[in-house]
Structure 1
Amino acid sequence: MGKFCFYCLFNKLNIQGIRFASTTSIAASKTEEFTSLCSKGQIKQAFESFSFELWSDPSLFSHLLQACIPKRSLRLGKQLHSLIVTSGCSSDKFVSNHLLNMYSKSGELQTAIALFGRMPRRNIMSCNIIINGFMQSVDIESAKKVFEEMPERNVATWNAMVTGLTQFEFNEEGLGIFSEMHRLGFLPDNFTLGSVLRGCAGLRSLHAGRQVHAYVMKCGFEFNLVVGSSLAHMYMKSGSLEEGEKVIKSMPTRNVVAWNTLIAGKAQNGYPEVVLDQYNVMKLAGFKPDKITFVSVISSCSELATLGQGQQIHAETIKAGSSSVVGVVSSLVSMYSRCGSLEDSVKAFMEREDVDVVLWSSMIAAYGFHGKGDVAIKLFEQMEHEGLEANDITFLSLLYACSHCGLKEKGIEFFDLMVEKYGLKPRLEHYTCVVDLLGRSGCLEEAESMIRSMPVKADAIIWKTLLSACKIHKNTNLASRIAGEVLRLDPQDSASYVLLSNIHASARRWQEVSNVRRSMRDRNVKKEPGISWLEIKNQVHQFCMSDKSHPKSLEIDLYLKELTAEMKLRGYEPDIGSVLHDMDIEEKEYELAHHSEKLAVAFALLNTHEGVPIRVMKNLRICSDCHVAFKYISDIKNREIIVRDSSRFHHFKEGRCSCGDYW
């Protein structure tokens, strides 16, 4: 707005001293022109369109104040406030309410509260505005106090309470307010029902959600787009995809919100391939994706680790004008990172326009995932320097980065900083990272002590994290005890049986190995097979150990024999000790050579051009033999090999790995 000032125009128009209570009527066309300019956000032009007669209508101040809100023109709003006081219009309840709304929505809640306290005539609208202001500041108690002291309420009042409570995950209280609203005879509107259904989704309560669904039908809102989308979201968030889809299919018309609900539901319930299909169907149906659509679709590309498709979606976000939206940028940073292209993550981050703690946390996580803990720490320090306040996700990313780079002291320092300086309460995930950090560093007893003394209840994952550390440090006695804790919480967890079996096998305790496997058979626990996949020319190729199903399996097998022979000439020795079965040496070498990740890398070498990085994804952790082999292959073939396993990324280049053999 430049240096535009209402007072300059005030003097220019020479209207000081004019009686603003003039009863002269304003021409309808002039009023229409004025309100049109305000609705378009052209505040300066609207003000300049004033004639002496315009000052006789206080409602025109309301239009100007409303125009200040989307423009975030707090300075101009304050100047208007002064003119309103000077003009004698401050006693007008409509003008006062719009002033209150302007301050509340511009982040000046304390000014709004002071104004609310001085208002000579409050009404329901005044109270509703201040309740919304308290809710947006997460001052629930103050909002409740105003609500309880109101002599009368309307539907907007109840909506302010229900929406505010469910927005900040006070879902049970939100549903309680809705029940009271119903008991007192207030009829909900589509916004009330939408908020209540979001509360049910937050609680993942299908029972409550179905009750509200029945009430929706009784009230005749089942075909309302807002309510229908909220209903579908509730079912999908609660794990009932079929019922959610049924709601969307029954809607007479769909809008972008309905499509987004369907796509997000598929993404949240682990159907990334279906998300991409639905995205294409949505576009074919003539709907333009928005920032919400892109976040779900990009996240699905992350899950599938399909870099080519992710790049195509990125191009579409640019075309749609959504590429600079913070949520989209965060998703792009995560997607490129999970697809093995850290450089593209950094580029997306550097091209950001807005500052957001979620985006910074995503970039810190990306560095940690790729073994660049020192860079993650520097980025955190830069984030603090720029005045951004870290949240629990930021610290989770930092702890993860430290645990995968062996930065024990730094990790403990960040954990203490999180609690002492930022006042954040550690969640189970934070404790799991610290246990991983301690376990990898060999502090097994200290890690166990932390689990047993932490204020949150341990789950199978945190015990399994310590069990993995027992395998690294070959502590069979502690492993047996920790495995018992895991299997007590999750008796069907195949990974824990396999870990324990491998620990015994490493110690050549074949009888113990046999006992573990017998226990698996007795409980009908199936071992998760190792699967590796990669994308070449927008086509995903998948491999299992000793896989013969691929059309080029014979060619891959022959190439692997030649490659293994070449590696042996360079000094490679197969790590037959990592084959934890009682079989002869030749069989062990054959099994090692046909691990799923080796098959994938061999296929990539045969089907991609020289110099092109190879990106392979694996559902389990990479074994020690494949890790050594890929260092040799990267040097022999002069290729960068990027492997994402279940724990982290490994960048093999010129005979070295980015993890420094610490994984």
Structure 2
Amino acid sequence: MGRACSKPLHTLFLHPQATHSFSTTVISAASQDFISLCSKGHLKQAFTTYFSHIWSDPPLFSHLLKECIERNSFPLSQQLHSLIITAGCSRDRFIANHLMSAYSKLGHLKRAVKVFNKMPNRNVMSFNILIGGCIQCGELDCAIELFEQMSDRNVATWNAIVTGMVQFEFNEEGLYMFSRMHALGFFPDYYTLGSALRGCAGLKDLSRGSQIHGYAVSSGLEFDLVVGSSLAHMYMKCGCLREGERVIESMPVQNIVACNTLIAGKSQNGCSEGALDQYKIMKMAGFRPDKITLVSVISSCSELATLGQGQQVHAEVIKAGALSDVSVVSSLVSMYSRCGCLDDAVKVFDQREGAENDLVLWSSMISAYGFHGRGKEAVEVFNRMEHEGWIPNEVTFLSLLYACSHCGLKDQGLQYFDLMVKKYGLEPQLEHYTCVVDLLGRAGCLAEAESFVRSMPIKPDTITWKTLLSACKIHKNADLSRSIAGEILKMDPQDSASYVLLSNIQASAKRWHDVSEVRKAMRERMVKKEPGISWFELKNEIHHFVMGDKSHPQSEKIDLYLKELTAELKLLGYVPDLGSVLHDMDVEEKEYNLVHHSEKLAIAFALMNTPQSVPIRIMKNLRVCGDCHVVMKYISKFKNRDIIVRDASRFHHFKNGNCSCKDYW
């Protein structure tokens, strides 16, 4: 923000009583001195020294108005407006344009409109300034109306309207304006191309993005920093990570925007480790991270659940003074939550330094509690948010419904769904309906959940049906599962998760013939099961584990340790859940299969390589199996270790033989 200034004009600018006469040469020198003083922020000195000179050269008011913007001072701009009227130059187009610009940039659009309406003569600049002000103040419709009124336009006019439409995510309309501009003979500049490419990125329209790339090359703008960064962003949003990297690499000069584009692109394309590596390269090159950098890097730490690196980035956030930025604070809340450190997430939320609350921050905290199975606390945060006068949006309710579904708060969840529609007038999206299906399914109301899906006003997708299929697995309903799986495979015959879920359900019911039929269908359709992967961070290095993979350096030691650990747990009462093995094989093979699940490999490695006082945090890409869940309970009690497991569904906090989910997950 600029320097605030609310002092009355007569106390800031001392009006001299005498007037002076200047020759043409002296007036020119005085004007230069006045402009120099204004540019350095010495308004009082400029005004008191050259007061009478301003009256004889009214365009100098423009420099005072520029300083109003710099100081972020609306009161000062009002006082200058009064002086401009007194000086009899309020109808001067040049001064009126600058006055409009000041009011627009200070967020007082209505006053800018009044100035515009009183102008006897307007030019393209007048319209451009007001269009830009409308866009800045969120009045896109007004900007479009002004645009259509113009009889004469220039490239800046087209830039403003294309950028405004893309900024408000009317990407298709923005690209239409871009095409219209080109058809009328205007030559897009680097600014136009940057906006059009952001529109293509929003639509994930690789075809049109590539065409604009071709135009950038032919017009010699390919290596412009704005165009290059926008090109890379477009390719990465379209999933073409390598093409985006090539664009950045080919740029003769790079800046923080280019670095941010590359880091965000890697993060958004599931290459979180690459994003963190790129962050290190950026710092080595001498670039200082800004808020955009920090949000992308924190998000990568969240995805990988790399607590150590996340804590280091948090320290850099403090050093950069970015704790007042809501997006950074929200990212930190999410990062600590996803790393299994809910208390740290709460601490960041409660101790934010000057960051204004917004719905993203509230929703992040509600989501964090829900992900850790703390539904009551999520509801308390929601109630607190409402009490403070915040109006929840669709994202807030999605986080709240998720929290209720994972904590068995069926009745409360259904009440919040009604509240969303009836009190706040929000239209539920497919994700909200899916949360209600999850809410009913987890609670065992399978018939009600199926009826809800089939009566939804929105066509269910595979995720909605898979949510119900997962509920069938939880409650071991083999009969319903077949019809549900059939619905999914009609939409996506290659959906491996559905085959696996159905196979699991049939195996639990010991219907081995049905299991064989499912696996045969998978083979015939060449459907590959997603492997279970678990990972653990040790000294800023991530160790991955997959069942059957012997590539880890400590693989043999882990096998031996697991064998000894399993024998020890059996003496303490552990009985392997052979029903968790989904193949019809002998008991010994089943036990070996169970022992070598990826999360057990990870926990063994962690027990071998960390001191007893340190909590163990394991991450897994799939849902933790029932047998592993039981084993974690035993280990937490008899090894006296706190174990935190993040699976595809939620967090499990194991302590002294109990899990935070209370076996409801």
> How far is the alpha carbon of 1:649 from its aligned partner?
0.8
Q: 1:274 to 1:93 in 2, by over 3 A?
A: same
Q: How does 1:269-348 map to 2 (within 5 A)?
A: 269-348=269-348
Number of the residue aligned with 2:529? 527
CA distance in 2, matches of 1:179, 1:271: 34
| Alpha carbons of structure 1 residues 132 and 631: separation in structure 2 relative to 1, 3 Å | same
8 Å Cα contact 1:336/1:345 also seen in 2: yes
How many residue pairs end up in the alignment? 660
Cα distance in structure 2, aligned partners of 1:465 and 1:340: 24
For residues 26 and 501 of structure 2, the distance between their equivalents in structure 1, rounded to whole angstroms, comes to: 82
State the Cα deviation string for residues 237-291 of structure 1 (Å, max 9, x = none).
1122232222222222222212222222222211112222222222333333322
Aligned to 2:413: 411
Q: Give yes or no for contact 2:5–2:76 (8 Å, CA) kept in 1.
A: no
The DSSP-based 3-state class of the residue aligned with 1:555 is: helix
For structure 2, the residue ranges without an aligned partner over 5 or more in a row are: none
Alignment-mate amino acid for residue 526 of structure 1: K
More off after superposition, 530-539 vs 352-361: 352-361
Are 2:354 and 1:353 aligned?
A: yes
> Quick one: structure 1 residues 626 and 5, their matched pair in 2 at CA, closer, same or farther if it must change by over 3 Å?
same
1:296 deviates by 1.9
For residues 205-240 of structure 1, what are the alpha-carbon distances to aligned partners after superposition, in whole Å with 9 as ceiling and x for unaligned? 111112212222232212211112112211221122
Point out the more displaced range, 567-576 or 616-625: 567-576
Q: Does structure 2 conserve the Cα–Cα contact (< 8 Å) formed by 1:23 and 1:56? A: no
Aligned-partner Cα distance in 1 for 2:456–2:507: 32
User: 1:458–1:57: structure 2 CA closer, same or farther, 3 Å change rule?
Assistant: farther
Task: Classify 1:20/1:401 alpha carbon distance in 2 versus 1 (closer, same or farther; 3 Å).
Answer: farther
Q: What does 1:641-652 align with in structure 2 at a 5 Å threshold?
A: 641-652=643-654
Deviating more after overlay: 604-613 vs 393-402: 393-402
User: Partner residue of 1:489?
Assistant: 491
> Quick check: 1:105 aligned with 2:105?
yes
The change in CA–CA distance for 1:591 and 1:214 in structure 2 (over 3 A counts) is: closer
| Gap change, CA 1:2 and 1:254, over 3 Å in 2 | closer
Does the alignment pair 1:553 with 2:561?
no
Which moves more between the two structures, 515-524 or 288-297? 288-297
Identify the residue that residue 246 of structure 1 maps to in structure 2. Answer: 246
- Aligned partner of residue 221 in structure 1, secondary structure: coil
- Judged with a 3 Å threshold, the aligned counterparts in structure 2 of structure 1 residues 342 and 78 are, in CA distance, closer, same or farther, namely same
Counterpart position of 1:395 = 397
Kindly report which structure 2 residues correspond to 1:341-490, keeping only aligned pairs within 5 A, or say none.
341-349=341-349, 350-355=351-356, 356-490=358-492
The answer on 1:579 being equivalent to 2:601 is no
Q: How far apart are 1:125 and its partner, in Å?
A: 2.0
Contact 1:38–1:46, Cα closer than 8 Å, also in 2: yes
**Cα distance, 1:518–1:41 mapped onto 2, change above 3 Å:** farther
* Residues 4-23 of structure 1 mapped to structure 2, 5 A cutoff: 4-9=7-12, 13=15
3-state DSSP of counterpart to 1:442: coil
Give the distance between the partners of 1:108 and 1:443, measured in 2 at CA.
54
Q: Which letter does structure 2 place at the counterpart of 1:288?
A: R
Letter in 1 for 2:406: H
Distance 1:49 1:624 in 2: 82
Contact 2:581–2:590 under 8 Å retained in 1? yes
TM-score (normalizing by structure 2):
0.92
Give CA deviations for 1:405-459 in whole Å, capped at 9, x if unaligned. Answer: 1222222233333333434333222222222112112232333333333343322
| Per-residue CA distance 1:1-59 (angstroms, 9 max, x = gap) | 4762114456x5366xx999999987556545554554456666665665333343333
Do the aligned partners of 1:438 and 1:446 also contact (CA within 8 Å) in 2?
Answer: yes
Question: Cα offset for 1:651?
Answer: 0.9
Change over 3 Å in CA distance of 1:67–1:500 after alignment to 2: same
**Counterpart for residue 606 of structure 1:** 608
Aligned partner of 2:456: which letter? M
Closer, same or farther in 2 for the Cα pair 1:41/1:423, shift >3 Å? Answer: farther
Structure 1 residues 261-270 or 490-499, which shifts more?
261-270
Residue 502 of structure 2: SS of its match in structure 1?
helix
| 2:538 counterpart of 1:536 | yes
Q: Residue 292 of structure 1: CA displacement?
A: 2.0
Note the C-alpha offset of 1:523: 0.8
Q: Deviations over 1:380-402 (max 9, x none)?
A: 23333334443322222222112
Instruction: Note closer, same or farther for the CA distance 1:2–1:395 as it changes in structure 2 (3 Å cut).
Output: same
Distance across 2 between alignment mates of 1:34 and 1:397: 57
- Structure 1 CA distance for aligned equivalents of residues 625 and 25 of structure 2: 84
The 1:213–1:195 alpha-carbon spacing in structure 2 relative to 1, beyond 3 Å, is same
Q: Distance in 1 between matches of 2:165 and 2:630?
A: 54
Give the conservation status (yes or no) of the 8 Å contact 1:368–1:401. yes
Aligned position for 2:198 = 198
User: Secondary structure of 1:223's match?
Assistant: coil
Once the two structures are superposed, the pairs formed by residues 505-516 of structure 1 within 5 Å of their partners are 505-516=507-518
Q: Counterpart of 1:590?
A: 592
One-letter code of the match for 2:228? G
Matched residues in 2 for 1:407 and 1:4: separation?
A: 56
Whether 1:149 aligns to 2:149 is yes
Kindly provide the amino acid, as one letter, of the partner of residue 598 in structure 1.
K
* Paired residue secondary structure (1:85): helix
In 2, the alpha carbon distance for the partners of 1:517 and 1:500 equals 10
CA distance in 1, matches of 2:12, 2:244: 56
The structure-2 alpha-carbon separation of the partners of 1:9 and 1:277, relative to structure 1 and needing over 3 Å to count, comes to closer
Task: Return the letter of the residue paired with 1:218.
Answer: S
Matches of 1:36 and 1:365, distance apart in 2: 53
Change (3 A) 1:297 1:26: farther
> Which moved further from structure 2: 134-143 or 493-502?
134-143
Looking at structure 2, the residues matched to 75 and 565 of structure 1 have their Cα atoms a distance apart, in angstroms, of: 78
Q: Could you give the per-residue CA deviations for residues 299-328 of structure 1, whole angstroms, max 9, x where no partner exists?
A: 222222211122222233333444443322
Contact 1:62 1:95 in 2 (8 A): yes
Q: In structure 2, the residue corresponding to 1:89 is in which secondary structure?
A: coil
Residue 617 of structure 2 corresponds to which residue in structure 1? 615
When structure 1 is superposed on structure 2, of 109-118 and 268-277 the one drifting more is: 109-118
Aligned partners of 2:386 and 2:507: how far apart in 1? 47
Secondary structure of residue in 2 paired with 1:91: coil
Relative to structure 1, the CA distance from residue 48 to residue 342 in structure 2 (aligned partners, 3 Å threshold; closer, same or farther) is: farther
Q: How far, CA to CA, are the matches of 1:370 and 1:40 in structure 2?
A: 53
SS at match of 2:90: helix
Of 449-458 and 205-214, deviating more is 449-458
State whether residues 24 and 53 of structure 1, in contact with CA within 8 Å, keep that contact through their aligned partners in structure 2.
no
Structure 1 position 563, deviation (Å): 3.2
CA distance in 1: counterparts of 2:295 and 2:519, whole angstroms: 43
Q: Is the 8 A contact 1:68 1:76 kept in 2?
A: yes
Q: Cα 1:210–1:655, aligned 2, differ >3 Å: closer, same or farther? A: same
Are residues 49 and 509 of structure 1, via their aligned partners in 2, closer, same or farther at CA, if it must alter by over 3 Å?
farther
Counterpart of 1:503 in structure 2 is 505
Which letter maps to 2:243?
E
* Residue identity matched to 2:630: V
1:56-113 CA deviation, whole Å, 9 max, x = no partner?
3333332233333354322333333333333333212222222222332333223333
Q: Report the RMSD for the aligned CA atoms in angstroms.
A: 2.7
Alpha carbons 1:610, 1:639 under 8 Å: kept: yes
Contact 2:259/2:282 (<8 A) preserved: yes
Within the candidate set 623, 632, 635, 1:633 is matched to: 635
